[in-house]
Amino acid sequence: MHASTQHEANEVGVADKLADIMQAKAEHQGCGTSGGSGKASCGSSAGQGDLPTEIWEKVKNHPCYSEEAHHHYARMHVAVAPACNIQCNYCNRKYDCANESRPGVVSEKLTPEQAAKKVLAVASTIPQMTVLGIAGPGDPLANPEKTFKTFELINRTAPDIKLCLSTNGLALPDHVDTIAGFNVDHVTITINMVDPEVGAKIYPWVFWKHKRYTGYEAAKLLTDRQMLGLEMLTERGILCKVNSVMIPGINDKHLVEVNRAVKSRGAFLHNIMPLISSPEHGTVFGLNGQRGPTAQELKALQDECEGEMNMMRHCRQCRADAVGLLGEDRSAEFTTDKIMAMEVNYDLESRKAYQALVEEERVAKVAAKQEELEALAGEQSDIKLLVAVATKGSGLINEHFGHAKEFQVWELSTGGAKFVGHRRVDLYCQGGYGEEDSLETIIRAINDCHAVFVAKIGGCPKADLIKAGIEPVDGFAHEFIEKSAITWFKEYLNKVKGGEIEHIVRGDAEIRQGALINAA
């Protein structure tokens, strides 16, 4: 009920904004949006940091490769690739590939032609959709004809959309030239080990050149092919993200070594995801009781690996047919029946105009944060703490506590506000009534946070949060997240200094596996 209301509201907002910007565009042409491919937008440097310009151009509106972009831009997946060439112990092939999807999800499979129609339909409805990914439901490169046919169709009909691919890497070296030929700038390889002894505990078999390999031999073959594929891609200037599934007791410690190995081969981004496993998925790990990591175990490993290579912390473990902003899945609006009946009006100019508006919003957000950071300069304190934020996107605190399906988690220190992850939760507000059980689970999911920032919150959950030691903060409704968090943190430090409050280190939190799996 709430989700559809929200989408309707979003769409009204989009229509209004588009009408405004088309009017503004008629009055003022320019702003770098007139280039042929449409890939560049407005020349904004918001969030560029120290990235070289040619890399920034590739990542600035890719929601997975830029944390900053994920607040503003959307991606979509098309499920054209059903077959797989390996077996992972966290996967049940009745469901989508668990390397880029939540377990237990079944996507609607499409032909390349249906996929192309879907991309145009989504691009017309969601102008901030900038990336098309193929991530399953099996391995895209175990289905090369379907994958590349889809890319060919999209390149022809919607050349402004970035192409993205996710693979287990076994077949990758055979397809690097074709990938480069389709101008695919972004490839993800799931690499869970670089030591075949570890790999033998994760992969029971791989199938290569008409032969099935098992045990150590299978894992050795897989890691050799993954490393070769990664090197070949980075040599060609293709940005590579490495996904790793953190499996406590099996590869958790080893992932530091994986991080080093992929960094030395030129990977751009490392995304360490928690294992999600439950007996009802019928996977080997689900059935043998293999647990996933806690929130703090995951964060500690991500912190340890953070160095020259960026760590991705905003992955939502999407479905193979996901559509929308990360964390806001709109796939149900674009089922095959619906898209086949849709009249598609793919208007490149309106898309570019909308994205120019998004860039303006983004520049304003960065400026606001900068201002607040300057006010923090000179503060001396070792205090570092986490806060949770309820948001619907655009970098704003714009979600009601009771409507939040996830909270973003930000780490605050005198260095500023840093995004460190998100926590899926069970909806507190079901039809307008607070559910006590779900409140307990929300508190467990954000238990390591000192405060939760919301647009609005009712009296009951407020009191329970305070009892749990988490401060509900509703004084920054509809304001920018980072600026608000830094303002709050300054006040917090002052209160600690003045002896008004005592700073207490909080405990661990739970990764809500059920909430992740059930997410829309």
* Residues contributing to the site for ligand CLF (CB under 6 A): 64, 75, 77, 100, 131, 133, 135, 164, 166, 186, 188, 241, 271, 315-318, 326
Q: Which stretch binds ligand SF4 (CB under 6 A): 96-104, 253-261, 348-356, 372-380?
A: 96-104
Q: Is 99 in the site for ligand SF4 (CB under 6 A)?
A: yes
Asked if 104 interacts with ligand SF4 (CB under 6 A), we say no
With binding defined as CB under 6 A, does residue 81 bind ligand SF4?
Answer: no
**Partner that binds at residue 227, options ligand CLF, ligand SF4, none, CB closer than 5 to 8 Å by kind:** none
CB atoms within 10 A of CB 459: 8
Instruction: Give the closest residue to 232 by CA, choosing from 151, 177, 194.
Output: 177
| ∠ CA 429-433-435, rounded to 5° | 70
HSE (CB half, 13 Å, CA atoms) of 348?
Answer: 14
Extended strands (E) in 414-515: 416-424, 429-430, 433-434, 449-453, 471-473
- Kindly state the number of chain residues that form the binding site for ligand SF4, as judged by CB under 6 A: 11
CB 482, CB 365: distance < 8 Å: yes
- For ligand CLF, the closer of residues 109 and 316 by Cβ is 316
- Contact partner at residue 316 from ligand CLF, ligand SF4, none, CB < 5 to 8 Å by partner kind: ligand CLF
Partner in contact with 170, chosen from ligand CLF, ligand SF4, none, beta carbon below 5 to 8 Å by kind = none
Give the residue with the Cβ less far from ligand SF4, 206 or 470: 206
DSSP annotation of 396: B
Task: Figure out which of the listed residues 84, 339, 412, 443 binds ligand SF4, where binding follows CB under 6 A.
Answer: 84
CA atoms within a 13 Å half-sphere pointing along the CA-CB vector of 396: 15
Is residue 251 close enough to count as binding ligand SF4 by CB under 6 A?
Answer: no
Smallest gap from residue 133 Cβ to ligand SF4 (A): 14
CB of 61 to ligand CLF, least distance (A): 12
Q: Are 122 and 333 in contact (CB under 8 A)?
A: no
Stretch that binds ligand SF4, among 97-105, 181-189, 220-228, 450-458 (CB under 6 A): 97-105
Distance CA 250, CA 281 (A): 20
328 interacts with, out of ligand SF4, ligand CLF, none, CB within 5 to 8 A per kind: none
Q: Considering the complex, state which of residue 389 and residue 451 has its C-beta at the smaller distance from ligand CLF.
A: 389
Which of 74, 79, 98, 301 is the binder for ligand SF4 (CB under 6 A)?
Answer: 98
91 binds, among ligand SF4, ligand CLF, none (CB under 5 to 8 A by kind): ligand SF4
**Per-residue interface string for the shown chain with ligand SF4, residues 158-197, x marking contact by CB under 6 A:** ----------x-----------------------------
Which one of ligand SF4, ligand CLF, none is in contact with 146 (Cβ closer than 5 to 8 A by kind)?
none
> Rounded to whole angstroms, how far apart are CA atoms 203 and 225?
14
Which entry of ligand CLF, ligand SF4, none binds 351, CB below 5 to 8 A by partner kind? none
Euclidean distance between CA atoms 247 and 193, whole angstroms: 11
Angle between helices 144-157 and 112-125 (to 10 degrees): 40
Residue 358 interacts with ligand SF4 (CB under 6 A): yes or no:
no
Partner from ligand SF4, ligand CLF, none contacting 150, C-beta within 5 to 8 A by type: none
Q: Tokens 């009712």 — which residue? A: 458
Token code pair at residue 455: 């647009």
- Going from the C-alpha of 133 to that of each of 64, 148, 291, 351, 460, the distances in angstroms are 10, 12, 29, 19, 42
Helix axes 348-376, 481-497, angle to 10 degrees: 10
User: Residue 16: phi, psi to the nearest 5?
Assistant: -60, -45
Tell me if 105 contacts ligand SF4 by CB under 6 A: no
Give the nearer residue to ligand CLF in terms of CB position, either 186 or 201. Answer: 186
Considering only residues 86, 193, 258, 449, which one is a binding residue for ligand SF4 as defined by CB under 6 A?
Answer: 86
Q: What size, in residues, is the chain?
A: 520
- DSSP class of residue 279 equals G
Q: Is residue 109 a contact partner of residue 118, using CB atoms and an 8 Å limit?
A: no
Pick one of ligand SF4, ligand CLF, none as the site partner of residue 138 (Cβ within 5 to 8 A by kind): ligand SF4
Q: Is 391 in the site for ligand SF4 (CB under 6 A)?
A: no
To ligand SF4, the closest distance from the beta carbon of 53 in angstroms equals: 35
To ligand CLF, the closest distance from the beta carbon of 166 in angstroms equals: 4
Nearest approach in angstroms of CB 170 to ligand SF4 is: 8
Spell out the residues 6+ positions from residue 369 whose beta carbon is closer than 8 angstroms to its own: 416, 417, 480, 482, 483, 486
Residues 6 or more apart in contact with residue 440 via CB below 8 angstroms: none
Report the residue from 78, 97, 246, 457 that binds ligand SF4 according to the rule CB under 6 A. 97
Within 10 angstroms of residue 256's Cβ, the number of other Cβ atoms is: 12
Q: How far is CA 414 from CA 293, 303, 378, 379, 411, in A?
A: 29, 18, 8, 6, 10
Which residues contact ligand SF4 by CB under 6 A? 84, 86-88, 91, 97-99, 138-139, 168
